[in-house]
Structure 1
């Protein structure tokens, strides 16, 4: 069995990353989305174990001490991290894994797993980004202003990624994400495992 590919997806808050990843999951089989751990408060509609594993600071710090994370960072006064066993187990079983993490986490992951494929998602404009943040109805003006400042900082790291997708037209952005995943699965190292009998017969 071939080893799966790790996909890293990053975006500023409000760029539509979660919606795009959800649509990608519905349109392609063969990969799993790694659910991150976080200490932030659970938002309305979020489900523990589906959106995040919501833990307190003490539990998160215990996992850090036990080397339980591939990456972790402190963002907006809270911890976020990717559990090591979740990713490594899925990859070893031949599943592609998709991580939704910020640029700090992405940098940590790339240093550990240089064969990973990284994708950055941009909004079509600052105005659109701010409108999306306001439309959530979850943050006060000061929080939105802080998120906009942090979004600009996050977007400045776009050039560290392998691919850049602009979420202007949602369907087109999903199609572009699909094309990245499909192309990666057609790489020779992946195809060899699936086609080794065919190749052996053709070259016999």
Structure 2
């Protein structure tokens, strides 16, 4: 009897604002370009320099809603009460079927929605939480970015407290104390799941 070929599991990456998820992911991709990172769809307009299919899949709202109704997204959300965002399901399934290491970087709410939908779809998922060394260090990084007003920083830090409290919901926690080390730990998780050791 032939055993079904083992497919890798989807790696869902979450963590609080300013923890450095994108930085860790970039360091990982620099060393392991064979990893595929899911590209989200959105109904918002492209920002200067953004490319369709690279940064996001940009689409009109009516197309997005039609695809959502047809079950073509792994998860969707409305952000800031305006634009729709979603993870196209088909590319995720195709990459998993070809045993390509597949990452979905998403916020806490999105990860929870993936958890619900993955059960329906029979998708195998590993949930990875990127954590800061401490809340004070997270605050230092957020303020150090200089990209938000003090009011926005305060709001993001309140959200971060909620996100940090959700850490026990995840399969693996990686503390982003040092980017290259965190990227190595993330690779170790992926390599184990995909039999790449």
TM-score, normalisation: structure 2: 0.81
SS of residue in 2 equivalent to 1:9:
strand
Deviations 1:22-44 (A, max 9, x none): 11122225431001123456566
Q: Which residue of 1 aligns with 2:134?
A: 125
Q: Distance in 1 between matches of 2:152 and 2:66?
A: 29
Alignment of 1:39-188 (within 5 A): 39=43, 46-55=50-59, 57-77=61-81, 78-111=83-116, 112=118, 113=122, 115-186=124-195
User: How has the CA–CA distance of structure 1 residues 9 and 170 changed in structure 2, closer, same or farther, with 3 Å as cutoff?
Assistant: same
CA gap of 1:71–1:134, structure 2 versus 1, over 3 A, is: same
Q: Distance in 1 between matches of 2:57 and 2:10?
A: 20
Q: 1:26 aligns with which of 23, 30, 37?
A: 30
Task: Give the aligned length.
Answer: 188
Cα distance, 1:104 vs structure 2: 2.3
Could you say what the CA RMSD is over the residues aligned between the two structures, in angstroms? 2.5
SS at structure 2 position matched to 1:4: coil
Task: Show structure 1 runs of 5+ residues with no match.
Answer: 192-204
Structure with max Cα Rg:
1
CA spacing shift, 1:57–1:151, aligned 2, 3 Å: farther
- Bigger shift: 141-150 or 11-20? 141-150
Distance, in Å, in 1 between the alignment partners of 2:150 and 2:50 is: 23
What TM-score results when the alignment is normalised by the length of structure 1?
A: 0.79
Gaps of 5+ in 2: none
